[in-house]
Amino acid sequence: MDENKEMRTFEQLGVEPRLLKAINELGFEYPMPIQEMVIPHLLEKDGDVVGLAQTGTGKTAAFGLPVLQRIDTSKNVPQALIIAPTRELCLQIAGDLADFAKYIDNLRILPVYGGSSIESQIRSLRNGVQVIVATPGRLIDLIKRGEVKLGNVHTVILDEADEMLNMGFLDDIKEILQHVPEERKMLMFSATMPKEIAGIAKQFMHDPVEFVAGNKNEGSKNVKHIYYMVKAHDKYLALKRVADNNPDIYAIIFCRTRKDTQEIADKLIADGYNADCLHGDLSQAQRDLAMKKFRDHVTQLLVCTDVAARGLDVDDLTHVINYGLPDDVAVYTHRSGRTGRAHKTGVSVAIIHSREKSRLRDIEKIIGTTFEYKKVPTPDHIIEKQLYNLADRLERVQVDDAEMDKYLPGVRKKLEWLSEEDLLKRVLSLEFNRLLSYYQNMPDIDLNETDRKGDKRERKGEKGERRDKKDKDRRVAEEGMERLMVNVGKAQGFFPGNLMELVNRGVVGPKPEIGRIDLLPDYTLFDVRKEDAHRVIEALRNADFFGTRIRAEVATDRDYAMEARDRREKKRRKDDKHADSSHGRKSDKKDKKEKKDKKSKKESKKPEYNGNYDIFMKKK
């Protein structure tokens, strides 16, 4: 029974012939687990779906094939809406859907995203599309302009929902869902299932069915997790040794900051490695070129930040290298899920120093996998590995005998004085002189147990250990970002979407990039590019949030929480004083009124003088 289930085909799942023809040409043979679970449900049953699967497990086909099959091409209106967190992922999904729909006539798919001409997107919308793949910000812009009508949408899909939550798109999602019919079918796909994602499902979905490929929050079964431990200043040396020890490496190297990303890529290029970088400081054209070169294997090592790598899908990565461990375990799961895809195996490498060991253990607990400790490759081991790799390449090289025979006599005559061993040494030296020179007399940089204890003692002796807040501020500064503060927070109902709306509404010129947002009860801290800080502060100056006048400034070490408490207490005393004063004034007014009424009553009893003095005196 189980064996038959494993061998089910896409046709048996209910996929129609036109789609089958396209996916067969793309090399699809048998459905992957998430596809086998989700496709029949979407085609045959009602109800919403939550799909839990790692990056690269076939999520796009899982929701894309049934969505395309349900499109009525005779209607030239949007019928399906797919929302993705980044431009790159938006383009990736739209491209995959276009490949699936190759043989369906008159089916139009439009990617809608920021950073590209809105006018061309509006023209495409006016010409008619049935499937929209969009980032939240640009979609809301088009909705407000009246260019996107979602009244006929029967399916809404949120892809990478956990990442959209991390990027502060929750309020945008709420706004978008107000424009689609209540009876829509909704699908949410995510690599991890934090409690916030469960909250979204509860709030916006109707009795969703949950499909899990593997266990929640776990890493891919095809990925081997290893770590190397070195001193912090030896991390780059360790990275080079990992690359040199794997001659056929094809890897993404993840760094925490844009500054680190650019510096590491520059160093690798200067040291002769086939490397490039991808981060938010690059123009869109530069990012597109870097991704194309990497997909085409022109680049062997791509150094990235997490956000920049979204939507960069390749199926044959040999390694994912964590040059810096992320704070969020879900981010590590996303990173490692980029290798070991399409039933292939991959390696997720963490290069850490001793202070990161506890974070590594936290990741292990949540993903349910133990990292294997490995010693950093030694120079001798690396050179031996490289030599064997060259020997293997020499064995497999294709030789055109007819052409080579023309030139061999002259070359043989030139080299006949060399012995076989001398000739072999010279061939190898052509390839390895640089490597041999570099690793000559290089020490072992692996942090063994004795070194770890010494490193720990050294760190304990350091003066002024930085607290978490200062580390955060340092990372912000490294990224070329400025941390700003606004005087409203969660207690006032202020959320990331409100912040972005206020900034975008008031800013002059291009929309600024907003980074990390930390919502506190009575104030909010957020990051913007340093060159945009002044424009953002001006945009928020005297803005109003439901009666509260916004005050924005560059964040300092002041205790904003204490200041907020002081403001509340001052307002309370003022209100109490005002109430007491008002009560006193009311009492005075009441006394005066009573006296006046009494006087009026007394005067009303006095007889009126009618011109007859005697009669008047008698009445009186």
* Pair 219, 369: CB distance under 8 Å: yes
CATH topology classification for 2-212: Rossmann fold (3.40.50)
User: Over the stretch 178-225, which tens digit does the pLDDT of each residue have?
Assistant: 899 888 889 988 776 667 677 777 778 888 888 876 544 444 567 888
User: Over the stretch 20-77, which tens digit does the pLDDT of each residue have?
Assistant: 999 988 878 788 888 888 898 888 887 788 887 666 667 888 899 999 999 999 999 9
> How far is 78 from 152, CA to CA, in rounded Å?
6
Q: Provide the residue type at 607 as one letter.
A: P
Is pLDDT larger for residue 66 or for residue 331? 66
* Pair 477, 528: CB distance under 8 Å: no
Confidence class for position 424, pLDDT limits 50, 70, 90? confident
* Pair 150, 143: CB distance under 8 Å: yes
> Highest mean pLDDT: which of 153-162, 280-289, 323-332, 388-397?
153-162
Closest CA to 73 of 122, 43, 106, 29: 106
Bridge partners, 519 (sequence order): 524
Domain 223-378: state its class: alpha beta
- Residue 438 pLDDT greater than 90, yes or no: no
* Pair 101, 22: CB distance under 8 Å: yes
Is pLDDT larger for residue 385 or for residue 11? 11
Q: Tell me the pTM.
A: 0.50
- Residue 15 pLDDT greater than 80, yes or no: yes
Is pLDDT larger for residue 7 or for residue 371? 371
Strand segments (E) across 504-572: 514-519, 524-529, 544-545, 548-549, 552-554
Read off the tokens for 30: 């048998």
For domain 468-558, give the CATH number: 3.30.70.330
Confidence class for position 461, pLDDT limits 50, 70, 90? very low
- Residue 609 pLDDT greater than 80, yes or no: no
Mean pLDDT across 481-504 = 84
Pairing of strands 301-304, 275-278: parallel
pLDDT on residue 288: 82
pLDDT on residue 79: 94
User: Over the stretch 77-121, which tens digit does the pLDDT of each residue have?
Assistant: 999 999 998 887 888 888 889 989 989 999 999 999 887 788 889
pLDDT on residue 27: 77
